[in-house]
Structure 1
Amino acid sequence: MRKIISLILLILVGIGVYYIWLNFFADDSIKLYFATKDGMGLQVEKRKVKGDKKWEAVRELIAGPTKPGLFPTIPPEVELLNIRVKNGLCVVNFNEKLITNHWGGSTGEILTVYSIVNTLCQFPDVERVQILVEGRKVQTLAGHLNLEESFEANEELVK
């Protein structure tokens, strides 16, 4: 009986140590990709988040950069509706303001799409990202990129 109690206590202590490590010592920082000052690429800004990291990462993208010299890639009125991952594909769904409030231009559209894609592809379970608007695939945000397909990260845009 003592061996069983000792084993249970050992397991509980192990679970407690693991919980403490996860909450206090694990790296909870994420990379967010924002537009550079010249508007020709993306640059990383790291932030610490709590909760669902994918959800919070996209919400932080919408909130915009805090680092001087970086610029937002998503209009601040945009709302994240949902996000899910299955078999390496992350499907991220926004409200219509992703299109109606987008500032346009080919470079602007590319930076918006790849700021979302690169940010989400940092997570081990995400290989590709599909962007939806109001639950539907859309042809484009601003007339330049075909959003009916999913995207892989593009590190060539990162300065």
Structure 2
Amino acid sequence: MSKSFYTKIVIITIFALVVSLFSGCSILQKLGIGEKLNDETHPVSFVYMDEVDAAKIAGKTPVKLYFTNEDNSKLLAEIRYIKLDEKKNDPESLATEIMQQLIKGPAEGTNLIATIPKDTKLHSDIKIKDKIATVDLSKEFVENHPGGKEAEKMTIYSIVNSLTQIKDIEKVQFKIEGQVKDRYKGNFKFDVPFPGSPSLNSKEPPVKGRESSVEFSEEKETPKDDVDDTSEDVEDVSGDVKETIGEDEQEILE
């Protein structure tokens, strides 16, 4: 055979390889390999895939609960699995259950410190409107808190950062016994919504905590109200997991 014939064969072979390479890329993309993960999911987006799959098999949703460290300088995460009632598998029910789990406190045997004052209860289920979650708590949330700027900040943001991991929540408003309060214990304004503050979250890996076997009860003895709250300090303020500083940044009351 002539040299020109072999040259044509080589050219055709190279062309075929190039075509298969590009078509292969499109196939990989269709399979989702190499694509960026969608991080606009619910709390599940904060947990590694193997844990997510395990939780699905168990019928539970993994979420991050934020508690504080010993010196109230950072929020530490505990991964907890929550079992949701199929009839109430919605953002408001999930937010309510996350709050109930925060009230229970961190798992035993961890270095996490509870942030919610003793005997605190939800005065009503959490409601979400315009990406603002209203958290109505009992009077013990204020009366049983030891006070102090750093302790107050950790208490407030353990709730805010735990709830703003839900896609539908960007800010959290607080009420006490159905009423809006001007301030918490003296250091924070409490009548405007608090955006999340990822800068307060520790970079330490999350602690794997206990599983929640609690399903949502059919009824809750609590009235429903709107919440008004606002925080006042924190280097970065953000809702919904965006690190931005600006309109939402608050100032600490003296």
Q: Which TM bucket (shorter chain)?
A: 0.7 to 0.9
**Contact 1:98–1:141 under 8 Å retained in 2:** no
1:92 lines up with 2:135 in the alignment: yes
Alignment partners' CA distance in 2, 1:127 and 1:35? 21
Shift of 1:26: 6.6
Shift of 1:27: 6.2
Residue in structure 2 matching 1:69, options 111, 120, 137: 111
Shift of 1:46: 0.7
Shift of 1:72: 0.6
Aligned match of 1:10: none
Alignment partners' CA distance in 2, 1:125 and 1:25? 24
Shift of 1:23: 6.0
Shift of 1:154: 0.4
Residue in structure 1 matching 2:65, options 16, 19, 32: 32
Q: Percent identity over the alignment?
A: 32
Aligned match of 2:81: 48
Q: Deviation string for 1:39-68 (max 9, x for gaps)?
A: 211011110012332111111111111151
1:112 lines up with 2:155 in the alignment: yes
Alignment partners' CA distance in 2, 1:121 and 1:53? 12
Moved over 4 A (4+): none
Alignment partners' CA distance in 2, 1:140 and 1:119? 21
> One-letter code of the match for 2:130?
N
Shift of 1:24: 3.2
Alignment partners' CA distance in 1, 2:57 and 2:100? 23
Structure with greater proportional strand content: 1
Matched residue SS, 1:29: strand
Matched residue SS, 2:101: helix
Larger radius of gyration: 2
TM-score by length of 1: 0.81
**Contact 2:152–2:185 under 8 Å retained in 1:** yes
Shift of 1:121: 0.3
Aligned match of 2:101: 60
Alignment partners' CA distance in 2, 1:34 and 1:102? 15
Residue in structure 2 matching 1:140, options 183, 192, 196: 183
**Contact 2:118–2:140 under 8 Å retained in 1:** no
Alignment partners' CA distance in 2, 1:116 and 1:39? 14
Shift of 1:37: 2.2
Gaps of 5+ in 1: 1-21
Q: CA RMSD, aligned part only?
A: 1.7
**Contact 1:63–1:76 under 8 Å retained in 2:** no
